[in-house]
Amino acid sequence: MKKFYRSETNKKIMGVCGGLGEYFGIDPVILRIVFVVLALAGGFGLLIYIVMGVLLPPKSKVS
Does residue 36 lie in a domain region?
yes
Number of domains in the chain: 1
Does residue 3 lie in a domain region?
no
Question: What is the Cα–Cα distance from 52 to 3, expressed in whole angstroms?
Answer: 13
Does residue 2 lie in a domain region?
no
Which band of pLDDT confidence, cut at 50, 70 and 90, is reported for residue 63?
low
Mean pLDDT of 49-55: 89
Question: What is the Cα–Cα distance from 29 to 52, expressed in whole angstroms?
Answer: 17
pLDDT at 52 over 80: yes
Domain of 23, in residue numbers: 16-56
pLDDT digits (tens, 9 = 90+) for 17-43: 999 998 999 999 999 999 899 889 888
Does residue 29 lie in a domain region?
yes
CA distances to 1, 13, 23, 61 from 31, rounded to whole Å, are: 22, 13, 12, 23
Could you tell me the pTM of the whole model?
A: 0.80
